Amino acid sequence: MIETIFSMPLYIIMPVVLIGYSAACFGVGTLFLKLFTAHADWMEQISAGTILATGFILGQGILASIWLLLALGGWFSIRFVGVLCFIFAVGGLYIGRSLFSALKKQIISIWHELRADTWGWQLIAGLTITLCLLWVTSLGRPLGGDGLAFYFALGKFVAASHRLVPLPGYEVFTNVGLQGEMHFAALMALHSPEAAKLFSWPTITAAGIMLAALGRVAGMGRRGQWLTLSILFSSSAVIWLSGDGKVDLFATSLGLAAYYWAVQIRFVHTKMVLLLTGLFSGFSIVAKLSYAPVMVPTIALLILWGYESEFRNKDQWRAVLKPFISGCMVILAGLILAFIPHFVKNGLLYHNPISPIGSHAIGWLNQTWFGPDVTRRILLTYPLALTYGSYWSQYGNLSPLILAFLPLIFYLPRPRPFFSSPLVVITLIALAGVLSWIIYNPSVFSPRYILAVLLLLILLPARAAEYVSYYDQKPRWLLFSIMSATYVVILVTGLYFITEAFFPERTYIYLTGNMSECERDASDYCEGMLVINKVAGKGDRVFLADYYRYWLRPDLIQCLSSTREMQKFDDLTISDEKWRFLYEHGFTYLFVDKTTYGSVIDSLTLENPPKWVNAKLLYSNHNELILAYKLKYTNPPNLQKYSCRQLNAPAWDVVKK
């Protein structure tokens, strides 16, 4: 039955799984919101779109935690995942049905407002929506980089084995928070790696709604919100994360939701708002640990701002202290609640709940990317570097519209009192967040590491441009410049990424089943691994001297060489010892990327192996840098000690013979 459903054409199954899974996320989040806000009048002041996006993002956080606990227990089967998704999706749609009618009214109202505006603003809205819709075509984008090495590979690994254990070759790195990875795993368990690839699209759309909602809180009108979305979707730091298998956007949407609800504390101190602030902050830090040094101080400042008006009255501050402390406790409870599944995972797998802190594997947290001179140059040119930078591993910039509209802030009337303005405070919080990062890790320059806080910087220039658009007097050169700059940037961004991240034609070919995964990814690694997949028996062991592993068969990924085995292999100095090691550990295939692991091939002297070894070349790419071998052993000098077996089906384990 299940196989029949999943054997439907890709263009049917992918959207069904993506929409169904998004509905499940929305369902979990809405269920949670309804449980805590049964009679909350203040929720009526918040737009349906914002509540819907909140529900969806909250559901992402909760669902990933549920999947994590299921996978730790070894129950991550399609039966559990599918049934839970179905229940959550149906339940959420039923509970949130009134939200959808409110959303329909909101969309109609936005449409009427847009029709009443000039054609120039209609064009900006149209171009922004087009740019947002172009994300769908990132399905045809070749997978590459970290997604292939870890994030997507872990999803495949968990979906196939029904359990979560450290990924062979990345045992240490599996101690990171696994928010995005668990969604990938769930979507792969539902037989749709394509939906996993595209799940960043509803995620960034929800993040965009939260950012626009923050803009509304900051006094923005509809034009400002359209400009906010134009800037968001023309930021290459956002677009580069579309369909590449990385997980940074999950932290971004959770982080923006955290900022939205933290700002709400200023207006309402209900337990729900406080709990949501804590939960979203916690989930976003779990999703991207680099958010911790930025989120913690900025959310703390927003909480203080939330209670500032009460504290201002010096006669009352003692009376306010109690609700303030209890409010902080609720936020802390939400934060801890979000962290618990992560702590459980690290406690079970690493015997250290707060790993990587306190473990020997903390190295990746203390990175240095550049020397003092380059770091100084980046710091001195920060706004320019964020707009024009192409530094190593930077992976995109903020939209140039932020820098272009920035001087327009001098047109904005000075709010009185200054620090009561949400726009002022949100911008100062964003700057404080950037400063925290600069102090914490100045040489690591990559917008995706702190994307949520950086995106807050969009609001002030967007509001300023909106203000000028209303009040510019003849000759209206500023209005003309604002609109021209927006058109040019959106168009150029769209055209630039048509060949980099958006692939409409390839998406069509792929969806209609006329292109394989390997053809889409146009990768020699994929071709080499595909050769091994075809000839290898179940549970054969591959000695992988390469970063990437996603394309290997699921059982082969589970039986791969571990980091410890790689280290032991490296420690051996004599070629004969290395061959004996490979035989003892049961490796019958060798996959080497000579550009990064050339020493493996050199140390094995493959052109002249021992007599008892037969290394048959299965695959070599055109420049002989990616190589796959089949290893055969005749009368080996020692006994094989390890093999890969299916002890707890469907999982495979490397065991001693």
When the beta carbons of 496 and 619 are compared against another protein, the nearer one is 496
Q: How far is the CB of 370 from another protein (least distance, A)?
A: 6
Q: How far is the CB of 415 from another protein (least distance, A)?
A: 9
When the beta carbons of 3 and 477 are compared against another protein, the nearer one is 477
Cβ proximity of 604 and 578 under 8 Å: yes
Helix axes 459-471, 477-497, angle to 10 degrees: 140
When the beta carbons of 105 and 377 are compared against another protein, the nearer one is 377
How far apart, in whole angstroms, are the C-alpha atoms of residue 433 and residue 428?
A: 9
When the beta carbons of 134 and 257 are compared against another protein, the nearer one is 134
Q: How far is the CB of 377 from another protein (least distance, A)?
A: 8
SS3 553: coil
Q: How far is the CB of 250 from another protein (least distance, A)?
A: 26
In 550-593, where does DSSP find H-type helix? 554-558, 563-571, 575-584
When the beta carbons of 249 and 482 are compared against another protein, the nearer one is 482
Cβ proximity of 61 and 338 under 8 Å: yes
When the beta carbons of 236 and 270 are compared against another protein, the nearer one is 236
Is it true that the peptide bond before 417 is cis, omega within 30 degrees of 0?
Answer: yes
How far apart, in whole angstroms, are the C-alpha atoms of residue 97 and residue 138?
A: 31
List of residues 6+ apart from 128 with CB closer than 8 A: 226, 229, 230, 233, 490
| DSSP element (H, E) containing 597 | helix 594-604
Provide the 8-state DSSP code for 369: -
When the beta carbons of 502 and 510 are compared against another protein, the nearer one is 502
When the beta carbons of 372 and 537 are compared against another protein, the nearer one is 372
When the beta carbons of 472 and 527 are compared against another protein, the nearer one is 472
When the beta carbons of 413 and 537 are compared against another protein, the nearer one is 413
Q: H/E/C letters for each residue in 176-233?
A: CCCHHHHHHHHHHHCCCHHHHHHCHHHHHHHHHHHHHHHHHHCCCCHHHHHHHHHHHH
How far apart, in whole angstroms, are the C-alpha atoms of residue 290 and residue 369?
A: 15
b or e along 94-125 (b: 16 or more beta carbons within 10 Å of the residue's beta carbon)? ebbeebeebbeebeeebeeebeebeeebeebb
Q: How far is the CB of 217 from another protein (least distance, A)?
A: 15
Cβ proximity of 316 and 452 under 8 Å: no
Nearest to 626 by CA among 547, 564, 554: 547
Q: How far is the CB of 381 from another protein (least distance, A)?
A: 7
When the beta carbons of 301 and 498 are compared against another protein, the nearer one is 498
Q: How far is the CB of 496 from another protein (least distance, A)?
A: 4
| DSSP element (H, E) containing 86 | helix 78-95
Helix axes 78-95, 48-72, angle to 10 degrees: 160
When the beta carbons of 131 and 274 are compared against another protein, the nearer one is 131
- What does the radius of gyration of the chain's CA atoms come to, in whole angstroms? 26
When the beta carbons of 404 and 532 are compared against another protein, the nearer one is 404
In 351-421, where does DSSP find H-type helix? 372-380, 382-388, 400-405
Q: How far is the CB of 224 from another protein (least distance, A)?
A: 12
Helix axes 222-233, 477-497, angle to 10 degrees: 30
How far apart, in whole angstroms, are the C-alpha atoms of residue 386 and residue 400?
A: 9
List of residues 6+ apart from 453 with CB closer than 8 A: 255, 259, 294, 295, 298, 429, 430, 433, 434, 437
When the beta carbons of 101 and 381 are compared against another protein, the nearer one is 381
Q: How far is the CB of 125 from another protein (least distance, A)?
A: 20
Provide the 8-state DSSP code for 540: -
Q: How far is the CB of 326 from another protein (least distance, A)?
A: 36
Q: How far is the CB of 240 from another protein (least distance, A)?
A: 12
How far apart, in whole angstroms, are the C-alpha atoms of residue 242 and residue 501?
A: 7
Q: Which amino acid is at 644?
A: C
When the beta carbons of 90 and 123 are compared against another protein, the nearer one is 123
List of residues 6+ apart from 45 with CB closer than 8 A: none
Contact residues toward another protein (CB under 8 A) are: 219, 236, 368-371, 374, 377-378, 381, 384-385, 387-393, 397, 400, 403-405, 407-408, 410-411, 413, 471-473, 475, 477-478, 480-482, 485, 488-489, 492, 495-496, 498-499
